[in-house]
């Protein structure tokens, strides 16, 4: 028996053992080069065949081929095993485990001004008011003239009002929507009109150049100041939630002047031990009714207006108006 006939079975056994210990593709590749590469003993064995005795060559050649085929076969199947294992491991690592606790999802919430406006709309809707909107870029006629605000009224000065053109302003109050609504509808009218208003202001804790108001208007036959007081008191009681045991929060009406109402008043709420001024109101001025083609002998009405930011500041105890518009999550997350 030649050396080769002894050596070949040893080579095969060694290769198979080494292959069974291989755990990764990288180890596999190293072993493959060692065992089947150009300078591997098994490869060199075929080349040394020429040195064997001619009579032995066919037998030895066949033996080398058989060993090579078995070793190569073993390498192939080990390779697919490793690939499958590695793929499985990768899939497992990426797999969605539905039994794990869900990652923290932070839910958004409504901005405190939106919450306040939603409350306001809900309460007035229950009282039979519908919601209308008007343009923020407004004709001077709707913002001033039709509201009985005369040509010399200080509110019209450029010092206070942002003019877009000679007769066009960024509306300074939502009262303009009163006019637009009455022009478009016949009484009875019962609306609120929320929206942005603009003023030329130096910005500080209590002043912004843009803020939100809600206007209210109710016109029909026989509307009185009593209807106004009842409506606003009911609204304020619900918005500020009457104290336990009390059916209403305390409200107060103080005489005031507005060009578009007569008589006019400011209304206050008693909240956290203090009287707080909230907005203006009154009975719609006969001239305003005439301006929209209503007959003040047939119908009367009340109107009111207030700032949404101020309502929210009082309700939530916020002291700086600017916080509403800074979008600081540390502030917004508190509501």
Could you list the residues that contact ligand DAH (CB under 6 A)? Answer: 173, 175, 215, 258, 261, 279-282, 303-305
- Residue nearer to ligand DAH on the CB measure, 31 or 192: 192
Nearest to 211 by CA among 165, 269, 258, 171: 171
- Residue nearer to ligand DAH on the CB measure, 32 or 310: 310
Cα dihedral sign, 107-110-112-115: negative
State the minimum distance, in angstroms, from the CB of residue 319 to ligand DAH.
21
For the CA atoms of the chain, what is the radius of gyration?
A: 44
- Residue nearer to ligand DAH on the CB measure, 42 or 280: 280
> Which class for 309: exposed (0-12), middle (13-18), buried (19 or more C-beta within 10 A)?
buried
State the minimum distance, in angstroms, from the CB of residue 293 to ligand DAH.
19
Question: How far is the C-alpha of 292 from the C-alpha of 260, rounded, in Å?
Answer: 13
State the minimum distance, in angstroms, from the CB of residue 291 to ligand DAH.
14
Question: How far is the C-alpha of 260 from the C-alpha of 258, rounded, in Å?
Answer: 6
State the minimum distance, in angstroms, from the CB of residue 325 to ligand DAH.
19
- Residue nearer to ligand DAH on the CB measure, 75 or 124: 124
State the minimum distance, in angstroms, from the CB of residue 203 to ligand DAH.
18
- Residue nearer to ligand DAH on the CB measure, 73 or 188: 188
Nearest to 124 by CA among 175, 182, 180, 193: 193
How many angstroms separate the first and last alpha carbons of the chain? Answer: 94
Question: How far is the C-alpha of 182 from the C-alpha of 173, rounded, in Å?
Answer: 16
State the minimum distance, in angstroms, from the CB of residue 148 to ligand DAH.
11
């Amino acid at each position: 028996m030649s050396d080769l006939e002894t050596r070949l079975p040893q080579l095969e056994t060694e290769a198979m053992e080494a292959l069974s210990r291989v755990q990764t593709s990288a180890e596999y590749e190293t072993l493959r080069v060692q065992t089947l590469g150009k300078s591997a003993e098994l490869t060199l064995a075929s080349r040394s065949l020429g040195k064997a005795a001619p009579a032995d060559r066919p037998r030895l050649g066949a033996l080398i081929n058989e060993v090579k085929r078995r070793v190569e076969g073993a390498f192939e199947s080990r390779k697919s095993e490793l690939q499958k294992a590695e793929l499985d491991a990768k899939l497992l690592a990426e797999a969605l485990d539905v039994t794990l606790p869900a990652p923290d999802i932070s839910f958004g919430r409504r901005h405190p001004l939106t919450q306040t406006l939603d409350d306001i709309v809900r309460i007035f809707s229950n009282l039979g008011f519908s919601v209308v909107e008007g343009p923020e870029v407004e004709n001077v006629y709707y913002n001033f003239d039709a509201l009985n605000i005369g040509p010399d009224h200080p509110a019209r000065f450029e010092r206070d009002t942002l003019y877009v053109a000679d007769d066009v302003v960024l509306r300074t109050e939502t009262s303009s929507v009163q006019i637009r609504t009455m022009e478009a509808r016949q009484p009875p009218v019962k609306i609120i009109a929320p929206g942005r208003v603009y003023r030329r202001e130096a910005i500080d804790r209590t002043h912004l150049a843009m803020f939100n108001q809600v206007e209210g208007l109710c016109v029909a036959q026989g509307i009185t100041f009593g209807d106004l007081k009842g409506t606003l008191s009911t609204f304020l009681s619900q918005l500020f939630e009457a104290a336990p045991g009390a059916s209403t929060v305390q409200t107060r009406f103080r005489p005031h002047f507005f060009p578009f109402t007569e008589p006019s008043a400011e209304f206050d709420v008693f909240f956290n031990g203090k009287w707080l001024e909230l907005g203006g109101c009154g009975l719609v001025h006969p001239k305003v009714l005439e301006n929209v083609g209503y007959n003040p002998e047939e119908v009367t009405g009340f109107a009111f207006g207030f700032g949404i930011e101020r309502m929210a500041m009082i309700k939530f105890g916020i002291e700086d108006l600017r916080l509403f518009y800074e979008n600081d999550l540390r502030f917004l997350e508190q509501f």
